[in-house]
Amino acid sequence: MSKRIGPSEVDLKEEIGDGSYAVVYRANYTNKIVAVKKFDGSCPTSCKKQFENEINILGKLNHQNVIKLFGFCDHRNNNFLVLEYMEGGSLLDLLVSNEKIIYPYNLIKDICNGMEYLHANSILHLDLKSPNVLLNKSKIHAKLADFGIAKISTLTTMSSSSVGTKSAKGTFRWMAPEISRGIPGMRSSDVWSFGCILIEFMTRKLPFQSLNDQQLLIVLQNEKSDLPINVEIFSKVMAGILNECLKREPSARPSFTQLNEMLSKCTQKDFDLNRNDHGTLGCSIKTITDLEKFIENVKNTTEKDKRKDKEIEELKKKLNEKEKDICSINNNLADIKKKVSDLEINKNAENYSQTRLSFYYHILSPPESPMNNFLQNRMNSPSSSFSTFDSKSKHSGRDTGYKYVSRGSANGRTIFEGTRGGFYYLTPSGNKAYVKIDQVSIF
């Protein structure tokens, strides 16, 4: 419950704003700066209902993006609200000025967060507009204000039961089409108003500024009429969100929870309206129909891009598999080459070993042969003689029938046994070349 405050407890300072039935002052209350919204004592009954409505609704709310109510005074003709003071002024003041908007994404996100909180508590604002969004001193955070015509909705109808055209007089620029036709406001009506604030961000002008109030009301009420938005689109994300909010059919608009999900996928860059190299679209959209066509083209292009991306990914996957196959083949080939090399090395080693063993075997243990038998017999019977000598040769040695193979000789030379012992073979010049017993064993 809100606290009741006496008139003497508040020290009013300068005027900082005014409306149809109320003036807003900067004031002191309990040694802190506050904003006092003072209602005209002679205001009609409807004005008093708005006063009571704000007390009733703000007294139930507590959120970082909703203005705080410290208390109220309803003493005789002193009817005022004591509210949180926002040094940055209203969003409208910032948007129509030449001042650079440092963090537009923060402000848009704060508005969306505040509205999601209201709807979660079954409260419809129904007068959401840039003058009713207040900023902190640095102008990077926003809070919702002015709940004079806000209503508590029911969960079954999700709509107000008494908000019509007259209630929203003076706010046509942010008014949803259904409200302009006298249909009670709904949650989706606030979403339309949020879309109108996005137009302000994109144009730094009031929504639908090319139309006066009367023209705008006619266009809003005629479902077939197209609304001129005249926005410069710099971001597909921003264009997509705007398109969703400005659907003629209330049920086609997203909830603030869904909008927050969309915004959560965005960055400051998507809403940076101060860049010269906007880097995305930089195209002008004149009407809501143009916006719808633009979004449809974006969707088609996106689908094509997705298909191409999918094809690219599939090709990359196949390429990766082929590279793995090639790598496996190379590894197998390297293994095979190594095995072949090892086999060749082993083969050469075995051949070399066998050759060496054979060589030493013949030297150390000559094989059984007639020559060896001959030598053995010769050694056992040194006096023995042989009957057959080569009579044709010029020497008297006995042909042993064996050959001495020397280096460079293909056929070998006949080994003879001399009459006085010893073994020799004849050189090409006819001279005797004696050999030792161990040399005989190599043939």
- Token pair in block for residue 94: 């910032």
**Residue whose C-alpha is closest to residue 239's, from 228, 231, 227, 250:** 231
Q: What interhelical angle do 187-203 and 236-245 show, nearest 10?
A: 140
Measure the CA–CA gap between 151 and 153, rounded to whole angstroms. 6
Ramachandran quadrant class, 163 (left: phi over 0; alpha: psi -120 to 50; beta: rest): beta
User: CB count, 10 Å around CB of 128?
Assistant: 26
CA-nearest of 368, 160, 144, 112 to 264 is 112
Catalytic-role residue among 127, 146, 190, 270:
127
Annotation says 127 is catalytic: yes
Q: Are 130 and 107 in contact (CB under 8 A)?
A: no
Mapped to the 3 state alphabet, what secondary structure does 316-368 carry?
HHHHHHHHHHHHHHHHHHHHHHHHHHHHHHHHHHHHHHHHHHHHHHHHHCCCC
Instruction: Find, among 189, 190, 191, 208, the residue nearest to 199 by Cα.
Output: 208
Q: CB–CB of 380/406 below 8 Å? A: no
Tokens of 255: 């909830």
CA distances from 295 to 108, 198, 288 (A): 21, 16, 10
* Selection from 83, 194, 90 nearest residue 134 by Cα: 90
Would the annotation count 38 as a binding residue?
yes
- DSSP for 25-94 reads EEEEETTEEEEEEEEPTT--HHHHHHHHHHHHHHTT---TTB--EEEEEEETTEEEEEEE--TT-BHHHH
CA distance 110 to 98: 22
Active site residue ranges: 127
> Annotated binding residues, as ranges?
38
Annotated binding site for ATP: 38
